[in-house]
């Protein structure tokens, strides 16, 4: 749940670009062949009409019943894109993140430094403007 909520708030790809291979009608919208379509993933992941009034808050429990029930539209969660052309490294990235997180949490306790100021900026990807100063304490069970 923590990883999914982190990916929602701080998605690795803030925009997705696709090209229409043929003309298509989506609702009342006509999309001609060859048109580039940009999907604003970051905006969708923070949309209060999809995720609720707490869309900007870190609430991992929103994924407690899985991705399909986390919001009003299960296709709105797309940190690695969606469908047949999603990120080929998605499963590897998730597995790697889980393993690293388990290894770190078993050895250390993390605390944000009092000097931390939350200021994400988008430079191709979403990243902290001032870094993330943390205090690590070795954990001995």
- Residue 54: give the domain boundaries: 2-106
Tokens 């609720």, located at residue: 52
Each residue's pLDDT expressed in tens, for the chain with a length of 141 residues? 999 999 999 998 899 999 999 999 989 999 999 999 999 999 999 999 999 999 999 999 999 999 999 999 989 999 999 888 899 999 999 999 999 999 999 999 999 999 999 899 988 888 899 999 999 999 876
Q: Does residue 129 lie within any of the structural domains?
A: no
Identify the pLDDT of residue 22: 96
Q: Does residue 140 lie within any of the structural domains?
A: no
Q: Does residue 130 lie within any of the structural domains?
A: no
Prediction pTM value:
0.84
User: How many distinct structural domains can be found in the chain?
Assistant: 1
87 is in an annotated binding site: yes
């Amino acid at each position: 749940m923590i990883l999914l909520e982190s990916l929602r708030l701080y998605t690795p790809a803030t925009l997705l670009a696709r090209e229409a291979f043929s003309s298509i009608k989506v609702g009342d919208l006509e999309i001609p062949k060859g048109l580039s379509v940009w999907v604003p993933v970051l905006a969708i992941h923070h949309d209060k009409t999809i995720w609720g009034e707490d869309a900007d808050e870190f609430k991992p429990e929103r994924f407690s019943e899985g991705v399909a029930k986390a919001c009003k539209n299960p296709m709105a969660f797309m940190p690695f894109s969606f469908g047949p052309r999603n990120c080929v490294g998605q499963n590897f990235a998730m597995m790697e993140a889980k393993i690293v997180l388990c290894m770190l949490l078993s050895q250390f306790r993390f605390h944000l430094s009092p000097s931390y100021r939350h200021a994400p900026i988008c430079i191709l990807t979403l990243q902290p403007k001032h870094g993330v100063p943390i205090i690590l304490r070795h954990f001995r069970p």
